[in-house]
């Protein structure tokens, strides 16, 4: 056997919790390099193409912002849920419902003119996401149904609902029978920051949400209650916190934020409803939360990295003729390495077997 | 509704339920040993992708099945290493396995999308398949349907009357006590996880080689997750998994029934049915929380670190 073993640290290492994402990224890059050479590519050139080439000009950075906005909005909502130990996997469905609900209103208001149109559309999108989140909250608090499974089922239902919409009632009558809606009017389109780029004001929604959630978690009693509920349910009950109301709050907030991300996407860079309005942002946001150490600032940086994996996948497809699904592979690897490295937060590697028993303490996870 | 349609519906129900049975039985064994593996969906997709690729490359569907089983097992080893050896959070690790498996299978299978293969032919059992109605419904299937019944029988028997079944249950109920009487807890958990991976891989092969002989990204469409709900619904009993899987199979092919009755409905709306049914099932399970608690393996989801 190896001459090393794991020893539990007296207390969790804060340094390691910051270093772990870095290790995970390095390990992902090394594995990616090995993978590229196995595919007959020059690993350095391929890694450059995937991770650096997309960001060599201003256009690249604005495109990064286009993807950071929805990722951050979804992730910041998920963070609230995960802080409370509510395993909400439903950001994807809430994102789609936000797009579908907001998009439906935008299509109803095709002929409408005025600057009130966009706020109404955005509001309806966020509301649709919120209602989808409310369904999970209802199932969780009223019936005690496991939220992991209900949210995943709701994701599939949301996707099929969107497909029904674009294949059926919301299909563009002049669209040559493609499963797409009509293009939204200019009054229902998010303004771009500069006419040369696609980056729109949704990036400000994301940054605003980050600031609000950061203030909520670090400055308010509500944030404190959410954190306590996640850390120690019994303590939260003992302190008289209203568990059900906290669960409702985090799920509604996440639903509204993911819904806003969805409606911003369809009224922003997509401009209509089609079956592909989400390239899996809601799932990638889960990785963002873990990678960002469940901290609002960390989430912004993690969103940038995950956004980069989407751009890298497109770049690799164009320049290296590799499949675009490379994106999902890199995202999966990243999360896996992160979970493995997170072990170093509560354990350290020691050379010889420890003389004393480590103990079978039920450390129910640090993630 | 005419008689032949009725027979066809039952036949299709069994076909649709089969992958769910395979996944759920594997997950049940895994959970009985105290390990909650949420990575079923990822393992199924890897099985489906590699099974299909192997079948295309070698030209033998049988080799495809073997490749799929191996793919599922390789994925489950990853999970076992993290969740058992490195005592990571089982929920997060399972999610990671699904995300990783979805990405990897999409990447590996990218060059095989749209290809067609013959798939595995049905194997009507001689004589039995000649019985009217029953012969068609039960004995005219492809070999993997029969395999799912054999696996059901084996697992049912294992937990009912073998030492192995007792050992797995002991590990899942109280790993410390099991360890104290000399049961190698880690090995049992590794074994159970590997078995779950093999079954998920096999279910993947069923999807890409039998059910719809082709590969497309994310083709398992949440079956891994539905199977997870099924295990809880069945309160960790093999016979109830069989029943539950066929009920879900019936819900999934409701469009056939509706067509038979002369209704037209959007395929996208009908596709929501199995997911909606799963949510209803989850609510029903949860409404009987006391009973669910009684049948849940006591140490489910709890990492175990051995005494040195």
Cβ-defined contact of B107 to A326 (cutoff 8 Å)? yes
Give the pair of three-digit tokens for residue B145: 């349907």
Between CA B65 and CA B48 the distance in angstroms is: 9
Of the residues A149, A169, A326, the best mutation for testing chain B's interface (the one with the most B CB atoms within 10 Å of its CB) is A149
ipTM score: 0.86
Q: B307: pLDDT confidence band, cut at 50, 70 and 90?
A: low
Q: A362: pLDDT confidence band, cut at 50, 70 and 90?
A: very low
Give the pair of three-digit tokens for residue A51: 């991770």
Lowest mean pLDDT among A88-102, B100-114, B124-138, B264-278: B124-138
Q: Nearest CA to CA, how far is B87 from chain A (Å)? A: 8
Torsion sign over Cα B1, B7, B13, B16? negative
Chain A residues within 8 A of B307 when measuring between CB atoms: 357-360
Average pLDDT of chain B to the nearest whole number: 84
Chain B residues within 8 A of A359 when measuring between CB atoms: 305, 307
Of the residues A325, A334, A344, the best mutation for testing chain B's interface (the one with the most B CB atoms within 10 Å of its CB) is A325
Where are the alpha helices (H) located in chain B, listed in sequence order?
A: 3-32, 40-58, 61-80, 90-109, 134-139, 143-161, 163-173, 175-180, 185-205, 223-233, 238-252, 254-260, 267-271, 273-287, 289-295
**A47 close to A217: Cβ distance less than 8 angstroms:** no
Q: A364: pLDDT confidence band, cut at 50, 70 and 90?
A: very low
Cβ-defined contact of B82 to A335 (cutoff 8 Å)? no
Mean pLDDT of A24-47: 88
What proportion of chain A, given as a percentage, has pLDDT over 90?
45
The nearest alpha carbon in chain A to B86 belongs to: A343
Biggest alpha carbon–alpha carbon distance for chain B = 67
pLDDT at A154: 94
Mean pLDDT of A70-95: 94
- Rounded to a whole number, what is the distance in angstroms from the first to the last CA of chain A? 29
Chain B residues within 8 A of A163 when measuring between CB atoms: 268, 271
Residue pLDDT, tens place only, A233-254: 888 888 888 888 999 999 999 9
Q: Specify the length of chain B in residues.
A: 308
Chain A residues within 8 A of B36 when measuring between CB atoms: none
- The better pLDDT of the pair B141, B158 is held by B158
Q: What is the DSSP letter of A114?
A: S
The alpha carbon torsion through B167, B170, B171, B177 (nearest 10 deg) reads: -120
Chain A residues within 8 A of B232 when measuring between CB atoms: 146
Q: Nearest CA to CA, how far is B221 from chain A (Å)? A: 8
Chain B residues within 8 A of A363 when measuring between CB atoms: 87, 303
pLDDT at A365: 41
pLDDT at B34: 87
Of the residues B272, B288, B296, the best mutation for testing chain A's interface (the one with the most A CB atoms within 10 Å of its CB) is B272
pLDDT over 70 (residue B308): no
pLDDT at A353: 56
Lowest mean pLDDT among B23-27, B151-155, B168-172, B256-260: B256-260
Residue pLDDT, tens place only, A310-321: 999 888 888 888
**If you search the block for the tokens 């990638």, which residue do you land on?**
A284
pLDDT over 70 (residue B283): yes
Cβ-defined contact of A363 to B303 (cutoff 8 Å)? yes
Mean pLDDT of B126-131: 74
Q: Which of B100, B232, B268 sits opposite A332 (nearest CB)?
A: B100
Chain A residues within 8 A of B301 when measuring between CB atoms: 364
Cβ-defined contact of A152 to B222 (cutoff 8 Å)? yes
Where are the alpha helices (H) located in A115-146, listed in sequence order?
A: 117-141
The alpha carbon torsion through B29, B34, B38, B39 (nearest 10 deg) reads: -60
Mean pLDDT of B97-125: 82
Helix (H) or strand (E) holding A350: strand A347-350
Q: Nearest CA to CA, how far is B88 from chain A (Å)? A: 6
Q: Nearest CA to CA, how far is A311 from chain B (Å)? A: 15
Chain A residues within 8 A of B102 when measuring between CB atoms: 328, 332
- Rounded to a whole number, what is the distance in angstroms from the first to the last CA of chain B? 66
pLDDT at A212: 95
Q: A342: pLDDT confidence band, cut at 50, 70 and 90?
A: confident
Between CA A58 and CA A194 the distance in angstroms is: 12
Mean pLDDT of A103-131: 92
pLDDT over 60 (residue A2): no
Q: Which of A335, A339, A353 sits opposite B308 (nearest CB)?
A: A353
**B82 close to B57: Cβ distance less than 8 angstroms:** no
Q: What are the residues whose beta carbons fall under 8 Å from the beta carbon of A197, sequence distance 6 or more?
A: A58, A59, A62, A63
Between CA A33 and CA A20 the distance in angstroms is: 20
pLDDT at A81: 94
Chain A residues within 8 A of B279 when measuring between CB atoms: 139, 145, 150, 153-154
Between CA A358 and CA A317 the distance in angstroms is: 48
Q: What are the residues whose beta carbons fall under 8 Å from the beta carbon of A267, sequence distance 6 or more?
A: A102, A103, A106, A118, A121, A122, A125, A184, A188, A189, A190
Q: Specify the length of chain A in residues.
A: 367
The nearest alpha carbon in chain B to A361 belongs to: B305
**B54 close to B68: Cβ distance less than 8 angstroms:** yes
Between CA A183 and CA A266 the distance in angstroms is: 10
**B176 close to A360: Cβ distance less than 8 angstroms:** yes
Cβ-defined contact of A145 to B285 (cutoff 8 Å)? yes
């Amino acid at each position: 056997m190896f001459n090393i073993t794991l020893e539990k640290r007296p207390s969790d290492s804060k340094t390691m919790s910051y270093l772990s994402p870095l290790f995970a990224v390095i390990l992902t890059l090394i594995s990616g390099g090995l993978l590229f050479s196995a595919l007959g590519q020059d690993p350095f050139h391929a890694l450059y193409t995937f991770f650096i080439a997309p960001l060599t000009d201003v256009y690249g950075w604005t495109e990064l912002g286009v993807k950071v906005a929805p990722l951050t909005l979804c992730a910041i909502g998920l963070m609230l849920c995960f802080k409370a130990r509510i395993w909400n996997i439903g950001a994807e469905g809430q994102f789609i419902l936000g797009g579908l609900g907001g998009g439906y209103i935008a299509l109803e208001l095709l002929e409408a003119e005025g600057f009130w149109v966009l706020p109404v559309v955005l509001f309806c999108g966020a509301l649709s996401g919120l209602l989808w989140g409310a369904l999970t909250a209802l199932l969780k608090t009223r019936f005690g149904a496991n939220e992991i499974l209900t949210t995943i089922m709701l994701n599939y239902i949301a996707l099929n609902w969107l497909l029904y919409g674009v294949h059926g009632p919301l299909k563009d009558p002049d669209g040559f029978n493609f499963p797409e809606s009509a293009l939204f009017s200019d009054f229902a389109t998010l303004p771009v920051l500069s006419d040369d780029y696609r980056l729109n004001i949704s990036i400000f929604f994301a940054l605003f949400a980050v600031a609000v959630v950061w203030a909520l978690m670090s400055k308010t009693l509500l944030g404190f209650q959410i954190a306590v509920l996640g850390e120690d349910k019994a303590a939260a009950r003992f302190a008289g916190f209203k568990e059900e109301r906290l669960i409702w709050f985090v799920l509604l907030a996440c639903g509204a934020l993911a819904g806003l991300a969805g409606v911003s996407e369809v009224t922003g860079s997509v401009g209509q409803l089609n079956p592909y309005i989400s390239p899996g942002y809601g799932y990638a946001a889960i990785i963002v939360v873990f990678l960002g150490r469940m901290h609002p600032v960390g989430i912004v940086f993690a969103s940038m990295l995950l956004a980069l994996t989407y751009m890298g996948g497109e770049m690799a497809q164009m320049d290296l003729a590799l499949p675009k699904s490379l994106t999902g592979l890199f995202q999966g690897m990243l999360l896996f390495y992160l979970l493995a490295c997170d072990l170093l937060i509560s354990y350290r590697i020691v050379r010889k077997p420890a003389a004393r028993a480590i103990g079978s303490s039920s450390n129910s996870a640090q993630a | 509704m005419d008689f032949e349609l009725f027979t066809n519906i039952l036949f299709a129900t069994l076909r649709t339920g089969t992958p769910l049975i395979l996944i759920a039985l594997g997950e049940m064994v895994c959970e009985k040993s105290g390990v909650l593996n949420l990575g079923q969906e990822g393992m199924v997709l890897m099985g489906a992708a590699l099974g299909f690729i192997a079948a295309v490359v070698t030209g033998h569907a049988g080799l495809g099945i073997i490749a799929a089983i191996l793919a599922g097992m390789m994925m489950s080893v990853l999970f076992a290493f993290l969740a058992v050896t490195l005592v990571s959070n089982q929920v997060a690790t399972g999610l990671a396995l699904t995300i990783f498996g979805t990405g990897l299978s999409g990447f590996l299978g990218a060059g095989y999308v749209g290809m067609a293969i013959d798939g595995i032919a049905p194997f009507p059992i001689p004589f039995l398949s000649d019985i009217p109605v029953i012969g068609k419904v039960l004995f005219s299937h492809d070999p993997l349907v029969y395999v799912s019944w054999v696996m059901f029988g084996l697992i049912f028997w294992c937990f009912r009357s073998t030492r192995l079944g007792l050992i797995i249950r002991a590990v899942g109920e109280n790993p410390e006590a099991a360890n104290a009487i000399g049961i190698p807890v880690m090995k049992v958990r590794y074994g159970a996880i590997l078995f779950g991976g093999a079954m998920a891989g096999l279910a993947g092969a069923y999807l890409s080689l039998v059910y719809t002989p082709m590969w497309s990204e994310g083709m398992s469409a949440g079956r891994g997750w539905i199977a997870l709900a099924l295990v809880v619904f069945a309160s960790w009993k093999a016979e109830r998994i069989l029943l539950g899987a066929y009920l879900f199979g019936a819900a999934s092919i409701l469009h056939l029934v509706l067509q038979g009755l002369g209704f037209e409905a959007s395929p996208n709306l009908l596709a929501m049915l199995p997911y909606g049914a799963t949510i209803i099932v989850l609510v029903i399970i949860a409404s009987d929380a006391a009973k669910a608690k009684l049948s849940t393996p006591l140490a489910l989801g709890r990492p175990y670190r051995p005494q040195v």
